Amino acid sequence: MDVLSLENWQIFPEGRPVLVAGPCSAESEAQVMRTAAELKKCGVGVFRAGIWKPRTHPGTFEGVGTPGLAWLRKAGRELGLKVCTEVACREHVEACLEYGIDMVWTGARTTSSPFMVQEIADALSGSGIPVLVKNPVSPDIELWTGAIERFVRAGIRKLGIVHRGFSASEKTRYRNSPEWRIVIEMRSRFPELPFLCDPSHIAGDRKYVAEIAQRALDLGLDGLMIESHCEPSCALSDAAQQLAPDELAALIGRLVVREADSDSSDYRTAIDSLRARIDAIDGEILAALAARMEVSRQIGECKKKSNIAILQTSRWDAVLEKVISEGREYGLPEHFVSVVFNAIHDASVQAQNDILSGSL
């Protein structure tokens, strides 16, 4: 994949994690200049502010539009900051290029629309400015992947990924569910792309931002995009999740940055031996699963001979209850045991189905 590493973007100061910070929305020139100046003092090098806001409900603050780009440009020039904003269509891209905006991102709602992503990719093509692709609203890894592919095909070489959480039907304590498994899968699909986390939109509440930011760094992500406003309680959008610049500085100071790897011989010896044990245990798990599956097939044959239906729910409920309770004695979380055994059960039912329908 023909993309440039973060060091070659000429956007971020040296060092990891990289940081993008600024208000959810640009609201006035004074708010932009004051927030940017305070963030600059905290060591922030890349300033964000939404100019066009895709709001869920009409009649709420939808951004100041193009005039806000002049405030961003002014903040960038006067304070020596790089500036970035969200784009959702060709006109937004063209306006950003005209005002010399240094970087853009696509928001979750826009990434969800292949037509809009294609339009933005075409408009950015050849401009040389970096684009960050936030995840789509739904936990659809193919839709997220497709958006990345569209930018790659348009020849965008400064391309990054941002995780901002997914909409979930079940209400959790976070505004958007983090789904770290999808993040890990995306990382392995695109190992050469810088990967940031936006803990503000995952959290929805400033009290959760730090724990999510730390989690992202623990997973080895490259940086953070965090919302910060000079007066969060007065913010016109996302007031509950924005941090005052001094709160942001304190949060950054407390984050523990872990090394991606280490050459220390103590660490290598310890980790190599633990990994060898994990590999051996994984082998045992697979052998046990294969043995269990074989018994399950024999049960299928037995049911077939006696013309018995595959699914006996009461039997399965009893098995599940037993393994969950035994698992608890081993200190295994109920949810984990339940997910694993339901997956095993699904595969067994499938195998027995194949036997009954004669396809094996």
Q: Which tokens is 323 given?
A: 């393994």
Are 22 and 39 a contacting pair, CB within 8 Å?
Answer: yes
Give 134's strand partners.
162
CB nearer Mn ion, residue 24 or residue 147: 24
At closest approach, how far in Å is the CB of 24 from Mn ion? 3
- Cα 327 → chain centroid: 31
CB nearer ligand PEP, residue 20 or residue 156: 20
DSSP string, 5-48: -GGGSS-SPSSSSEEEEE-SB---HHHHHHHHHHHHHTT--EEE
Choices 26-34, 120-128, 238-246, 314-322; region in contact with Mn ion by CB under 5 A: 238-246
Give 82's strand partners.
46
If DSSP codes are grouped into helix, strand and coil, which group holds residue 274? helix
At closest approach, how far in Å is the CB of 86 from ligand PEP? 6
d(CA 263, CA 233): 47
Residues between 6 and 45 that touch Mn ion (CB under 5 A): 24
H-helix segments, 236-312: 245-254, 265-306
At closest approach, how far in Å is the CB of 134 from ligand PEP? 5
With CB under 5 to 8 Å by kind, the binding choice for 164 among Mn ion, ligand PEP, none is ligand PEP
DSSP string, 199-225: HHHHHSSGGGHHHHHHHHHHTT--EEE
CB nearer ligand PEP, residue 134 or residue 229: 134
At closest approach, how far in Å is the CB of 318 from ligand PEP? 45
With CB under 5 to 8 Å by kind, the binding choice for 108 among ligand PEP, Mn ion, none is ligand PEP
Positions touching ligand PEP (CB under 6 A) are 24, 50, 86, 107-109, 134, 164, 198, 201
Q: Is 238 in the site for Mn ion (CB under 5 A)?
A: yes
CB nearer ligand PEP, residue 62 or residue 149: 62
At closest approach, how far in Å is the CB of 240 from ligand PEP? 13
What residues line the site for Mn ion (CB under 5 A)? 24, 238
